[in-house]
Amino acid sequence: MSPTAMRSNDALPYENPSLPVDQRVDDLLSRLDLEDKVGQMFHPMATLEDVDTPNVEFGLPTLRETIVEKRISHYGLLGSKATPREFAEWYNAVQRIALARPLGIPVTFSTDTRHALSADPRNALTGNPESESPPGFFSQWPETLGIAAIGSDAVAEGFADVVRQEYRALGLRVALHPQVDLATEPRWPRIFATLGEDVELTCRMARALVRGLQGAELGPDSVATMVKHFPGGGPQQDGEDPHFPFGREQVYPGGMFELHLRPFVAALEAGASQMMPYYGMPMGTEYEEVGFGFNRSVITGVLRERLGFDGIVCTDWSLVSDGVALGDPIAARAWGAEHLTPKERVLKSLDAGVDQFGGEYRTDLVLELVREGRVSIERIDRSVRRLLREKFVLGLFDDPFVDADLAARTVGRADFVEAGLDAQRRSLTLLTNREVAGAPLLPLRRPLRVYAEGIKPGLLAAHAEVAATPQTADVAVLRLRAPHEPRPGLAAGFHTGSLEFPAELHARVAAIAAAVPTVVVVFLDRPAVLGALTQAATAVLADFGSSDEALLSVLFADAEPQGSLPFDLPRSMRAVIESRSDVPFDTEDPQFPFGHGLRYAGAEPAEAVRTA
């Protein structure tokens, strides 16, 4: 049922799909009162709960209240439902609430990435034991680092096209990704969601991901991309993250601001419709030393004027108001603007050139600024026109509902699942593969007794006899994760600090390797310092998000590792500390360079050209 049919048989110009989009936008804009306009400028979170139940854990009011009273029509979604059908039915119920209001503006839902297999790093925003955007019933793929490790434009675009189809079937029309920051500071905890350290590879992958999500141009079959974190969130001082005040500084000791900008230019060339500035504040540059969401010199000066971007700019979450996460209070991430009141922060962001406030509900502050004469209606209309235009281009006014049957058939479709599994296998990156009895240890030859840590015994049993101890095995396989230093509270979800494995782990691996040839598989959400692990282990694989099933198929030659490192692996923490945070490939004498990756057939290294 169309929104027009729900209200009246007399279609207004904005309800007429035969009219040009800009004419429809102008007509609708002329009919909106100030409260309706301001409601469009907020993009808070919502959970897939009953629309009349507030969420105490994250301090969220009821969804119905924010739609009806605050006139909000953009939401990022937390959590999931048990099945795609239930998800789609919940979505349709929410749309009915929105469309029943005067003028019937449909809701746009967004999401962080939901397709990465490895849920653990995805706790970064909340520290939750469960992902805030859980993969659940979606097809499961490696992290985007794994897509970069494969290095194929076709794979990246195909992955994004699957994401588009699964999101689209559920009514998710804005992807809060891709994240195209350059991973030049090895300690930064958000590297797992980047495309690596190399600017040319990142630019290629960024274009492919935007094409796969949006198509050749934004339209009714698209998922819009909110590319982040403009103008590049990688060069964080000491590798800390600006979700926290101790990580607010973004530094450029190598003068590489322009290099970090290039992946965003590539995304814009591919048609990216939205941009999200990061929390960080640039230090020691020509730009104002204030968080990018408040930064006129960057948003208007660079993005709007120099790059000519006229799409939507949405701030990163919670720049204005203090809030709650997991029941704990959190301060607004107003770096460089901490001294300002919430209303003054809103004014500074609007002056900077943003259109929408992520994670915020404070429509009252914008309304006050307009009524006080400090923000003009023309300034409000400029942003609201962009926001409404995208709803029309995405077809939400003409086809706001989803087909629950189609959602059930599409999300987690068998061919999507197999494509994700294939990408998991291909992304595995073989770093070392020494000989045992005159032949490389990998691939493993059946029959075999295998001692394993971090692999489900039932899956292993399909390939080999499961050994209870290293001493009774022919080979050991150990799954490890890149090290990090534990932090208290919400910071616990951010893997930061030292990249060196503790001495106890080195000793344990060495003891197992002394008893039996050992394969070490390391999940690299950051570029770990492997050190002596490579001497102890007979073979080492880098993992960017592969299931036990994918790993076992590669270990036993049912598939071949095809990945190449998307970043350097540093030789020591000293080299990391002495490197410049904004400069790619700046750690001295890396243990394994960007592009390294062996193949089974003669263990020849993959071709790779360092481009920065």
Q: Please, are residues 75 and 47 in contact by the beta-carbon 8 Å criterion? A: no
Residue type, 314: C
Tokens in use for 157?
Answer: 């675009």
Name the residue among 75, 32, 101 with its Cα closest to residue 380.
32
Would strands 449-453 and 274-277 be described as parallel, antiparallel, or unpaired? Answer: unpaired
Packing angle of the helix pair 153-170, 414-427 (nearest 10 deg): 140
Q: Please, are residues 76 and 112 in contact by the beta-carbon 8 Å criterion? A: yes
Chain centroid to CA 571 = 28
In the chain, the largest separation of any two C-alpha atoms, in whole Å, equals: 82
Q: Which residues contact 205 (CB under 8 A, 6 or more apart)?
A: 144, 147, 148, 153, 156, 178, 180, 195
| DSSP string for 468-534 | SSGGG-SEEEEEEE------SGGGGGS--S--BPPHHHHHHHHHHHHHS-EEEEEE-SS--B-TTHH
**Cα gap 564→366, rounded to integer Å:** 49
Packing angle of the helix pair 363-371, 377-393 (nearest 10 deg): 140
Query: Residue 134, SS3?
Result: coil
Q: Is 316 a catalytic residue?
A: yes
Q: Tell me how far apart the terminal alpha carbons of the chain are, to the nearest angstrom.
A: 53
Name the residue among 570, 597, 611, 562 with its Cα closest to residue 147.
562
Give the number of other Cβ atoms within 10 Å of residue 318's Cβ: 22
- Which residue is catalytic, options 36, 112, 181, 316? 316
Report H helices in 281-339.
Answer: 296-298
Query: Residue 116, SS3?
Result: strand
| Residues catalogued as catalytic | 316
